[in-house]
Structure 1
Amino acid sequence: MAASEQHHTLPLPTFEAPVKLAIVVSPYYGDIAEELVAGARAVAEEVGATVEVIEVPGALEIPSAIAICERQAEFDGYVALGCVIRGETTHYETVCNDSSRALTLLGLQGACIGNGILTVETREQAVVRAEAAGQNKGGGAAAAALHLVALRRRFAAPRRNIGFRADELHLAKGEGTLA
């Protein structure tokens, strides 16, 4: 049984500049989602990161929400949280596989994502994994996102002035100010 195994946990990274995480959560199972978010918040606070919680209807919407945030917001990383409990149909496999695959693809495109979407057979398994004082899978997902943020910052190349942004074009013309 996995609960009795010993696992090595990396120490949390440290940051010179502030970190902002989006916790994207499906509260379909509200009590489980609350525990996952509590665990993720606690880990983020340990390194001084700020968090914004974004709720979506289900696990399949989590990758889409992260993609929107990655394109249109200013987050350093993302924590994907939710719970999928096997039911009587094959919908379970679809939700588990497609949400996981989409998060992986976003990660391969450069988004720093910790995946804390629980995929379990029973509610009891979910409760054990979600408890912030127990297995704390929400905290583990936040730690994973923070490690990826640290890695991206470690290997970040200096920005080059290639091309332009629309707001810079307007500034060059003397229109407006940068906020």
Structure 2
Amino acid sequence: IIGEYEFTKDALDSYIAWYEKQERNLKAGTFHIQDGRFGGYIARRATHVKKISMCLSASRSNEVNINLKDFERAKELLERTEKKMSKAFKGMGKSQIAEMTDKVLTVIMARKKIKRSEVLRYLYGDIDIWTLEQVERVLAGMKVIEIRVLNEESDALYTYTGAAK
């Protein structure tokens, strides 16, 4: 394959409309990936969709044009990939408890409701009560869990409320 890839007319019209919407969202600060670590990626998103479109075109023919189907498939692949993209960095960060926060959240998400004592038993080799209390405050502050104190058992019940990962 030799030459520069170009969009067909209908693909170009669709790309321009999509690109302008992306720019409006950027200016408004509404991103489809709500993770600050992806700021650079979000700024290059249009380049990625073009490159995926080129790959799809090359897989289909030796012509150097990107048709509407190539562009639509590229958008769909990109959006499907982005849904789990934040997992690439999960448990990473400058916070000393970032990894533990992710481990605890993963356990709570899997169980939906779980007692503090159960989390400690499950992660006993990785976490102590003092770290777990810090993690609790982080997760409650993120509004991804609710904590109910169980006075009669000297325990707490974590309930996953959603909106994370």
TM-score normalized by the length of structure 1: 0.27
Kindly name which structure, 1 or 2, has the bigger radius of gyration based on alpha carbons. 2
More helix by share: 2
TM-score normalized by the length of structure 2: 0.29
Structure showing greater relative contact order (alpha-carbon pairs closer than 8 Å, 6 or more residues apart): 1
